[in-house]
Amino acid sequence: MIHLYYKISTSKQISETANAFESCKLVDISMVKSIEDDEVYLVEIDKIEKTLLLHIKKLLQSKTQSLVYFFINDSHNLMLFQLASLLNVKSIITPKHDISKVISNIQTELLLNKTSQLENAIAKTQVNDYCFMIFNSNSLIFASQKLYNDFNCKDLDMVKSFVCSQFKLDDFLNSDMVEKNSFSFTGFPKLYSIKSITSSFNNDKYIYIEDISNDKTQDISGVDFIKNRIYFIEILKEKILEKSISQGFISIITIQVENMSNLKQYWSEYEIEMAVRDLLLQVEIEIESHTLLAQYDNNLYLTLFEGLDFESTKQKANSIQHHISSYTSKQKIKPIIGLYALDINDLELNNILTTVSDISRENISIKDIDSKKLYRVINIDNELDDVRAIDILLQATFTNKIPIKLLNIYKGLCINTASTIVKKTDQEIYVTYEQLQGTVLHFEKETVIQSSNFIKDIVADVKYIDTKKKLALLKNFRFVQGSANARKYSRVTCSQRTPISIVHNKGTLNGEILDISMNSIAVKTRLYPQMEALKQNEVTLNFTLPVSSSEEGYMKLSLIAEVIFTMCDEEFCKVVVNLDEDQVHEAILMEYVYNRQKEIIVELKKQTTMLN
């Protein structure tokens, strides 16, 4: 509700009216050129002037869905009445009006207006998905596009002739009822459900016709507590209306069977139906008896909660997920369930139904997501393969806006910077990156994604980089085996090929340094049949490093070390050694690694400048 006035507000009536409602914003129209959308506008007009009325017209002429009331003194003229007619003003209120009746009328009209808008929104969302007709005073005034398409009708006369004539229309118009029977709407008999619902706004009658001949999910035996989509939307509409005139919380938890296509490869429809039924009975254990549970789509169920704020709804969703996971782990048929918690307290009905439909189609985008409104429950079941587990982790990270980091090792140097997932498709994600990271992504064509909610780091290929938007497109995700960056200290590659010899008790291995840190060195050597026997043994390393602080410009080093890792392929072996602590040459290694890091960073910055 917004109270509009010009420079000074003096009306006691309008103040008394505003105080009767939960909140009312004051706006001096002399200071604004436009106003925000709202449900009700209380317009205080103390002095009728043409320029003022034109300004009011400009501010309100687009607010066709809102209720507008004029509060004036006893004076009025034709111009005022013309403006009231143009803006569809509900009432012109003078000092002679009984303000208690004015408040009562506004409350009634506000409720009716909300109901009308909600029913219009419901009709718009269902026009392409449901077969339904609208009757006013027992006359057919509207039919949905799906009804026209399914029953091959071109206009309302054909609907009357080919559809309405085949069932007892008067019974449905006289009372709200449901009938399941065989009808020949399309030339041959099929099983349909026909349901009539009376509008609480204008007593229009909505009649829904649903083909249930092939729908084996609508009547799951033993779960009569599960309602259908139409019933859910009707109850949701009522709860939104109640919320508009009272305090309280309402929220939704979506429950989706995510592996239905896989289940159908191994089990019969009846076996799957029974498994889903038993699972829903487990859900019923976790929710209160008065909580609404409904089937929204074939594999999507919704629970409507009252009295839970968003944090409590997330906790409830996690509790349901934990209970379901514990139950399915002991079952032969294992439906994999995905849950979202959705705070709907400040959402319009259209936005709620659109978000639910996006969840059903697994088509959530960054524009739909407010982490304070939508939360994806993480469910990593032991039965999941890596591909599905990674998809769930990435979707939850994206939906819940959990920060991530990108990790790359460039010439031994660890580049690990903050990032976010800004878009997710079935097999790819778009992530932000910082400049140095982007340069490494460009050259390496691969990165490791890290997040607090990952069970393991995830490695991904870089498909494309947008240097202007600083976005990278990643694909081909897989779990990192072991730690992506297990070594304790920063390491670097050498600026040039650096030979090294490893002296052990049975001889000497020659090779070259792969990378080096203050406490470890990785070496590439020729094949050696007894390489595995070197593990945990002490060896001596002999090599030369360039050192700018020495007189010769280099220094020969001989270090004691322990072999901690060996791995061989068909051509070479890799050996990693840990250096003994407190050796004389520790300061030299520190200086070399530090200087080499600076060189690599300078090199990266030059490459970054060239790329951008």
3-state secondary structure 75-107: CCCHHHHHHHHHCCCCEEECCCCCHHHHHHHHH
Residues 453, 378 contacting (CB under 8 angstroms): yes
Select from 107, 85, 94 the least CA-distant residue to 40: 107
Looking at the domain 2-107, which fold is it? Rossmann fold (3.40.50)
Unique residue bearing structure tokens 């109640």: 242
- pLDDT at residue number 331: 83
Task: Please tell me the distance from the alpha carbon of residue 513 to that of residue 123, in angstroms, as a whole number.
Answer: 71
CATH class of the domain comprising 398-479: mainly beta
pLDDT at res. 590: 85
Say how many C-beta atoms besides its own lie within 10 A of residue 399's C-beta: 22
Provide the pLDDT for residue 201: 59
- Give me the amino acid identity at 402: I
Which residues, in sequence order, are CB contacts of 134 under 8 Å at separation 6+? 123, 140, 141, 142, 143, 204, 205, 206, 207
The Cα–Cα gap between 296 and 340 comes to 14
Name the 3-class secondary structure at 447: strand
pLDDT at residue 215, rounded to an integer:
53
DSSP 260: H
Report pLDDT for 287: 85
- What is 358-425 written as a DSSP string? HHHTT---GGG--TTTEEEPP---TT--HHHHHHHHHHHHHHTT--EEEEEEETTEEEEEEE-EEEE-
| pTM recorded for the entire structure | 0.53
Strand locations in 199-333 (E): 205-211, 226-227, 250-257, 292-297, 300-306
Provide the residue ranges of all domains of the chain, joining segments of one domain with +.
2-107, 130-211, 226-384, 398-479, 499-599
N-term to C-term CA, the chain: 50
CATH of 499-599, one of 2.60.40.10, 3.40.50.970, 2.40.10.220, 3.40.50.2300: 2.40.10.220
pLDDT value of position 574: 93
Tokens in use for 601?
A: 């960073």
Task: Classify 412 in phi/psi space as left (phi over 0), alpha (psi -120 to 50) or beta.
Answer: left
**Topology match between the domains 398-479 and 499-599:** yes
472: which strand partners?
A: 431, 465
- CB–CB of 274/361 below 8 Å? no
Residue 335: its pLDDT value, please?
Answer: 85
Q: What is the CA radius of gyration of the chain?
A: 35
Report the alpha-carbon distance of residue 426 to residue 16 in Å, rounded: 56
The three-point CA angle 477-480-484 to 5° equals 125
Look at the chain and count its residues.
612
pLDDT (0 to 100) of residue 332: 83
CA-based nearest residue to 441, from 416, 421, 476: 416
Element spanning 243, H or E = helix 229-245
**3-state SS of the chain: helix, strand, coil percent to 5?**
35, 30, 35
Supply the DSSP symbol for 342. E
CATH number of the domain at 226-384, please?
Answer: 3.30.70.270
Q: Of 68, 69, 79, 71, which is closest to residue 96 (Cα–Cα)? A: 71
For the chain (612 residues), the mean pLDDT of every run of 10, in chain order, is 90 88 88 89 88 90 88 81 88 88 87 70 61 88 87 90 89 88 78 83 81 58 67 82 74 89 82 88 83 86 90 92 85 86 85 85 67 79 75 86 88 88 91 91 92 84 92 93 58 90 90 90 91 88 87 87 90 91 77 88 85 74
Dig out the tokens for 137 from the structure. Answer: 């005073």
Q: Are 124 and 144 in contact (CB under 8 A)?
A: no
Superfamily for 130-211?
Answer: PAS domain (3.30.450.20)
